[in-house]
Amino acid sequence: MINSAIIMNGNEVAGNILVKIKEIIKKKGIIPNLAVILVGDNPASLIYVNNKMRKAKDIGIECHIVQLPYHTTQKELLLIIESYNKKVEIDGIIVQMPLPNHINSNFIIESISPDKDVDGFHPYNIGKLSVAESGFFNKYSDNILSLNKLFVPCTAAGIMTLLKHYIGDLSGKNTLIIGRSNIVGKPTSIILLTENATITIAHSYSKNIEELCLRADILICAIGKPLFVKGSWIKQGACVIDVGINRIHDNKIIGDVEYDNASKVASYITPVPGGVGPMTIAYLLYNTLQAHLYNYL
């Protein structure tokens, strides 16, 4: 008998988060404001920004979009960010990644006020996350005012919420994260440690990744390579979180995992699209509301 994995429906879980945000905004009679800065005309970035804008508008968050030409200098971008740092009415600031090669992403991230860093990438927020106590994520995700000005990176928060929703207790789970980026891999590993999971991180220099995959109770792939993880690499009954968003020649979107084959072996799996992506947007808007409540009420 062929196993059929339970689909981890990011659209549904994210929808519940957005309903919660909308209710709080309506009850308190507030309008959180988010500034979105986009440099260049990367098609994928444009689509992602438009999705953010649409979801924000639906729940009562106002978006201020600044679209800059590709040749914008780093100094010019820093001046724009500084102007938004000073605007009291702006609660959150994000700079859409990736940036053109002539702009240093780390400098840009560090220039955003930690109190408006709703992406959760600023070293200050990552530092606070790294010293968070065990079990903190339940408080963070259940109560917007649970923590003292800590913005959890949105994709990591989305992954954790899906895992908690579908699996529950993560204690002792052998968890493999493929990818060590500051956006996904590293922050996700930190939160998983606070949930008492056992963490392995693989990357481009890792050897025997197939063997590591076969030992993983939870496999999180965020490497950005289409169909990198084969279905034969999945441990029977594992949970597979595919963070990859890859556009192939026919404009079809696929993940980093061979979904069809993996879903025959795994117990739980995220679809692409419709898995982690909606969760990332939901937590960006969650953090924006959090910033408004922290800073201005």
Known binding positions for NADP(+): 179-181, 245
Is residue 118 within 8 A of residue 155, CB to CB? The reply is: no
Residue 50: partners with Cβ closer than 8 Å, 6 or more residues away: none
Q: Which residues are annotated as a binding site?
A: 179-181, 245
The rounded distance, in Å, linking the Cα atoms of 206 and 164 is: 28
The rounded distance, in Å, linking the Cα atoms of 173 and 225 is: 25
145 C-beta neighbours (distance < 10 Å), count: 12
Q: Which residue has the tokens 């289409």?
A: 226
Residues catalogued as catalytic: 52, 96, 119
Strands (E), 5-130: 6-7, 33-39, 62-68, 92-95
Residue 23: partners with Cβ closer than 8 Å, 6 or more residues away: none
DSSP single-letter state for residue 229: B
Backbone angles phi, psi at 15, to 5 degrees: -60, -40
